Amino acid sequence: MKILVLDGVKEAGVAALRRPGWQVEVISERWSEAELISRIGDYDALIVRSATKVTAPVIEAARSLKVIGRAGVGVDNIDLEAATRRGIVVVNAPDGNTIAAAEHSLALMLALARNIPQGDAGLKQGRWERKHLVGVELKQKTLGILGLGRIGSAVARRAQAFDMICLGYDPYISAEQADRLGVELVPLKTLLERSDFLTIHMPLTNDTRHLLDAKALALMKPGVRIINVARGGLIDEAALAEALKTGRIAGAAVDVFEEEPAISSPLLDCPNVVLTPHLGASTEEAQLHVAVDVAEAIANFLAGGLPNNAVNMATIAPEIMEKLAPYVELAEKLGSFLAQMAGGIGRLRVTYSGALVDLQTGPITTSVLKGLLERIVDDHVNLVNADYLAKRRGIKVETVHRGNGDDYHNRIGVEAETAEGLVTVAGSVFQPDSPRIVEINGYRVDAVPTGHMLVAPHQDRPGIIGKVGTLMGQAGINIATMQVGRKTQGGQAVMVLGTDAPLSPDLLDAICQIEGIQGAKQVVLAR
């Protein structure tokens, strides 16, 4: 494995990557996009902080890249769509700088409330300006918290120690969860109207960019003070500067900017601001923690483990994934089976029943797509990009959870809507190492999903199976297993043969010519 570490990530943190046979290259100077494009080709993993921009051209040039690690929380310097499209896992270190960012938020809030930077600067310039630097107390002030994730929650707990009243806006948490934090969950408009202080702890997305624009700032209580230690771009800096100059906003403390280094921000000309150069995660402890966390996540993934803290795929706890593993393996084979049985798939319905309804089935559904797409697309397909590639091909996916297991302790049913009609297959795991295909197009079977298989719908009448066996014998193909599923005697049936070798196109064509055989297909599944 070749691993590239940029942006001054702590050396002590990358110790987890120094394994026998692994080559770790730590670069202290900053590489330009062009240089990174020219040199990224053979690396299996890349670790960056915030300085390096991992753009789509960089990702396209990365022939061997499997994982990108961000030693920090935000990943806006990494093109997630390009990475996902290529099947590259992106991991971050969401816990490592939580305390540092929360403490910096409180530090800026106190500095803003008590005019500490202005007092320090004036005294050093020989001025004793007590009258002009009267501040406000935090006690019983209303603090609005935009985003109640790890950092926002940590800020709430610390603000309550100052006897502040905490309001929160976060569309992704419940009122019960906010209540446990001691935070009143309110709509955004209410939070803006009631806050004496406002602190932001949200990611920068298309939906949150300029969340605090001129219109939002106009809703806020006159004299409010704003703190941003999250992401530049969440606040419209020009609008904030104007509101600060008019005095509607009493003050702002900003650690992150729309463009960094922030040498031309309109906030630089405002006297009632406290500005720091993106120091939210800049503690010795945080830098070590994020480096260790991301390095351990990458090492675990490259060694064949789960991608902990992945931001472009669902992260499943190891103990949960251990339970899911047999079903994930079966699901991939069911997807591959369908791809070889029918073409032109436009819609999939994956139905879970029995014990599976209580499990986290997202990775199982993604595995169905992986098995399906590996047979029909040229792209490298894995659990990272399977959902993306399915959407790109217009395949709609529906999942259904049903309590009844249909005589099976667990069952995965997959229904494909194709140009030829519905094609279905279902499977069950009898033991962790004993998966089975238990149904094909409504016919019950008990087939081991591995190796070479002949699937032959036919009329249920004497002699057909014998004719197939005769042709197999003449071609020197040994039949390892055989299953026949039917609903009524003399009606339609399906024959599933496991063979020790692949069938030639001529042999498959000859089988299809047997009277009563209705379109035999050869399916090859991984062993």
Is the CB of residue 396 less than 8 Å from the CB of residue 341? no
Cα 253 to Cα 104, 141, 161, 235, 282: the distances in Å are 10, 17, 21, 12, 16
- Give the full edge-to-edge strand order of the sheet including 443-447: 396-402, 347-354, 410-418, 421-431, 434-440, 443-447
| 260 belongs to the catalytic site | yes
Rg of the Cα trace of the chain?
30
- Give the full edge-to-edge strand order of the sheet including 184-185: 184-185, 165-169, 142-146, 197-200, 224-228, 249-254, 273-275
What are 154-158's contacts with CB under 8 Å, separation 24+?
154/98, 154/99, 154/101, 154/102, 155/102, 155/105, 155/106, 155/199, 155/201, 156/181, 156/182, 156/183, 157/181, 157/182, 158/102, 158/103, 158/106
Q: Which of 278, 349, 393, 486 is catalytic?
A: 278
| 231 belongs to the catalytic site | yes
Q: Which of 260, 285, 398, 420 is catalytic?
A: 260
Is the CB of residue 293 less than 8 Å from the CB of residue 96? yes
Burial class (CB in 10 A: 0-12, 13-18, 19+), 190: middle
Quick one: three-class SS letters along 465-527? HHHHHHHHHHCCCCEEEEEEEECCCCCEEEEEEEECCCCCHHHHHHHHCCCCECCCEEEEECC
| 85 belongs to the catalytic site | no
Q: Which of 70, 86, 231, 411 is catalytic?
A: 231
Is the CB of residue 369 less than 8 Å from the CB of residue 474? no
The DSSP H or E segment spanning 184 is strand 184-185
Catalytic positions are 231, 260, 278
